[in-house]
Chains A and B, each alone.
Chain A
Amino acid sequence: MRFSDNFKIALEALFAHPTRTLLSLLGVIIGVFAVTTLISLGEMATYGIQHSLEQLAGRSIYIQPQFKPGVEPVRFDADLLRVLRVLPVQPIPYVLSSATAADRRGRLVSLDLVGTVGNLPALDASVELARGRFFNRREAEQGLPVAVINAKAESTFFGEGRGLGRELILNVSDGARIRTVVVGVVRPAGGFFGGFESERVTVPYALLWERMPRKKGRFDIIELKVEPGADLKEVEKRTRRLLELRYGKDRVNVQSVQAFQQALTGITVGLQALLGGIGALSLLVGGIGIMNIMLVSVTERTREIGLRKALGATSAQVRAQFLMEAVLLTLSGGLIGVVLAAAVLYLVVLTVPFFEAFILSPLTVALALGVSAAVGLFFGVWPASQAASLDPIEALRYE
């Protein structure tokens, strides 16, 4: 028997009952749709987050004193900044705190208060000014009361586009009040994290040192911008060694985005496997549906099978015919499922800003189609064997 004949006979059998065929396919369609969509969404989310991360802090190493109960954390001071210059990095120190300020209706709203060095946009490309200017190095070192706020803070405290030149009074811990003048507004960060921005006010580090005695002379975190051309991993290693020499073992936490990205990939792969597993479960249910409909079909076509055998079809040929039917059935279900998934993914990319790129990898498609064919093969074996083992005399007598 020719493959083309087998194919044609199977196709005809499926089109003999189009409604039933479609209904029996639903399980497989939903299963493949679920698996494909979930895996692709996972890939798209990973891509989105990593892309945002790279934009935000592509080639940076973050160092922070390690906090352990009962051990005095190390001090990051101005001297450390000078020491760090031996590495091919641009250190950007930060003093981190929180504060409150009155919004337009007089209610106190908490905000992130950051102290840093002057002229930040020149050091960090991700900081872009919308209006005004950034405080310069001299202002930063002298601790002048100037502030650069983000768009969120501007709209909360002054209203959009109305913050420049206004006074912002920050209530910090110990009841101290810092009066500042807004000199600049920065653009919101792009990408995934941009959407989660809270009110953020950036001031000269020396201002916080002066007004908050607890913070005096120390930085909370230092971002090391690795210079172009330098090997990130190598620099990270040298940084660890240097800090170990200066402070001792395990006193400083050194982290790069790379490590974070690796951890993130691990999480998303795990998540994808989980979601794919749930999708696979529905595929299993779909496969059982296919088996059921194939068994019905074998019973219904008992006489046809008897006739084919009487005319000389071997059991193997009958089995091949029903297996072909089952595989064709699930494969077309898989195809419909993939097309549906592609459509939905495309819609998601169009409507949800978080998903920036449409990703439907050939591997995912091949996997979806391969698995649906395998489901047909697996769940078709029993009905096909039932058909193949029919006794032609009995089958022809069947009413």
Chain B
Amino acid sequence: MKPVVEMQEVKKVYRSGSRRRQVEVRALDGVSLLITEGEFVSIMGPSGSGKSTLLHVMGLLDRPTSGRYLLAGEDVTTLEDEDAARMRNRRIGFVFQAFFLMPRYSALRNVELPLVYRGLTEAERRRRASRALAEVGLADRMDHLPSELSGGQKQRVAIARALVQEPALLLADEPTGNLDSESGREILALFERLHEAGKTLVVVTHEREIAERGRRILHMRDGRLVNDEVLG
């Protein structure tokens, strides 16, 4: 199995306050972790436990203060901002709690968005985006604006936007947090299908029920991994 995420003693320390009275917050306090291709991993923990920071570091939105991080075999610990952006564009797919769709763009154009920054032609973007939308079951909603879609459909558009990048790693931050339970189940079912199709998924949640859809739960507390639970 190929490793997708390899972290060794990753620390993230935020310093704030004045020079004399500096406050140190250890958001990540030595996290070591291996996630291999095709895994469906959930990260759980109370708020402030560092699970969001871990997700940000994993998704190259944030850089670790120390330690080492290899993404799909490539050392990305000290990437420059511009290189990190390019890596995000090609290796990482994000799914956010609040969807973050462009309100004036159709579903299709929303899904195309990451490909714009790759410099692909419009025709090529269209082709790939409509395929991704079909994959999440929205082939008949391509021209709809987000305001014309239900919450579950919006999140599926967001998932299609992540899939269109063909990422090594799909990261979801409380993906059902803004949805009713019916739509939430719809999204989780979609995640399971993606897992079966061989995608590598990491989902941050604070709900046990959602976490149990995955095959492995990482429990965090005070910036550390306190339990690595593998489900039967």
Contact = CB atoms under 8 A, between A and B. Distances in A.
A16 B100 contact: no
Nearest to A307: B100
Most A-side CB within 10 Å, residue of B86, B116, B118, B122: B116
Interface string A1-32: 11001000100100010000000000000000
A92 interface: no
A311 B117 contact: yes
B81 interface: yes
A317 B104 contact: no
Interface in A310-327: 310-317
A392 B82 CA distance: 13
A200 interface: no
A162 to B, nearest CB: 78
Contacts of A393: 56, 61-62
A152 interface: no
A304 interface: yes
A310 B102 contact: no
A396 interface: yes
Given A311-B88, A311-B89, A316 B104 contact: no
B190 interface: no
A245 to B, nearest CB: 81
Given A311-B114, A312-B86, A314-B86, A1 B161 contact: no
Contacts of B90: 312
A317 B115 CA distance: 13
B119 A314 contact: no
B113 interface: yes
A59 interface: no
Interface string B106-134: 00000001101111011000000000000
A312 B114 contact: yes
Contacts of B145: none
A313 B117 contact: yes
A309 to B, nearest CB: 6
A310 B117 contact: no
Nearest to B164: A311
Nearest to B105: A12
Contacts of A133: none
A303 interface: yes
A308 interface: yes
Contacts of A310: 59, 61, 88, 94, 100
A353 to B, nearest CB: 53
A202 B94 CA distance: 95
Nearest to A316: B82
A9 B116 CA distance: 10
B102 A5 contact: no
Nearest to A9: B116
Interface in A268-310: 303-304, 307-310
B179 to A, nearest CB: 18
Contact of A16 (B104, B117, B121): B104
Contacts of A16: 104
B102 A304 contact: yes
A313 B85 contact: yes
A1 B121 CA distance: 10
A318 to B, nearest CB: 9
Contact of B104 (A12, A303, A311, A312): A12
Nearest to B114: A311
Contacts of A392: 61
A316 B104 CA distance: 24
Nearest to B90: A312
A314 B117 contact: yes
Contacts of A396: 96, 100
B113 A311 contact: yes
Contacts of B94: 310-311
A69 B67 CA distance: 97
Contacts of B122: 5
A386 B122 CA distance: 29
A304 B90 CA distance: 19
B85 A303 contact: no
Contacts of A307: 100, 102
A312 B96 contact: no
Contacts of B121: 2
B172 to A, nearest CB: 13
Contacts of A313: 85, 89, 117
A2 B125 CA distance: 12
Given A307-B100, A393-B62, A314 B82 contact: yes
Interface in B75-94: 81-82, 85-86, 88-90, 94
B121 to A, nearest CB: 8
A310 B61 CA distance: 7
B100 A1 contact: no
Nearest to A306: B100
A25 B58 CA distance: 43
11 contacts: A1-B119, A2-B116, A2-B119, A308-B113, A311-B89, A311-B165, A312-B85, A312-B89, A312-B90, A314-B117, A393-B61
The 9 closest A-B pairs by CB, nearest first: A312-B89, A314-B85, A311-B114, A312-B88, A314-B82, A307-B100, A312-B117, A313-B117, A5-B116
Given A311-B113, A314-B82, 9 more contacts: A2-B116, A307-B100, A307-B102, A311-B117, A311-B161, A313-B85, A313-B89, A314-B117, A315-B82
Interface of B: 56, 59, 61-62, 81-82, 85-86, 88-90, 94, 96, 100, 102, 104, 113-114, 116-119, 121-122, 161, 165
